[in-house]
Amino acid sequence: MFVKGGKPGPGRPKGSKDRYTREGKQAILDAAEHVGEELADAEVKELEKQKLEIDPNMPRGLSAYLVNVARNHPQVMCAMLARMMPIQNETTQTVDVTYHSFEEINNRLRELGLPVGRIYPLLEAPAGQGQRDGDAGDP
């Protein structure tokens, strides 16, 4: 209890989050997770009704919720992405590695957690497409 002129208590440790802030953030994540599951379930039911194939890798939970936000409210998604940008640190790493087969490349991409299915279409893109400015094309 605060007493005027009394010695203050230790308070919260520096850098720790307020309990209500933590609980509030967790509640928001839980709600988004729940709504995302509902959205994914509704999409599965719609695909079953239309007798279409169901993608076992379709987003679920929080990812499904954020996909819905991105599709239906792109301004909100852009605002969320903009808030994340300062957090991201850009690093560069140069590694001299030679891969001798697509299997080696696939295994390494999986180890790094990269989506293999998204990499190969870039390899098949017409010349100039999928390259950043300043990247040299094949001679």
As given in the structure block, the two tokens for residue 55 are 């993608």
Dist CA 2 CA 42 (whole Å):
53
User: How high is the pLDDT of residue 128?
Assistant: 56
Dist CA 77 CA 68 (whole Å):
10
Structure confidence by residue, pLDDT tens digits, 18-41: 766 778 888 888 888 989 899 999
List, in order, residues 6 or more apart from 76 with CB less than 8 Å away: 69
User: How high is the pLDDT of residue 86?
Assistant: 67
129 has a pLDDT exceeding 80:
no
Q: What is the pTM of this model?
A: 0.45
Q: 99: which DSSP letter?
A: -
Name which residue leads in pLDDT, 48 or 136.
Answer: 48
Most confident listed range (14-28, 77-91, 99-113): 99-113
User: How high is the pLDDT of residue 138?
Assistant: 44
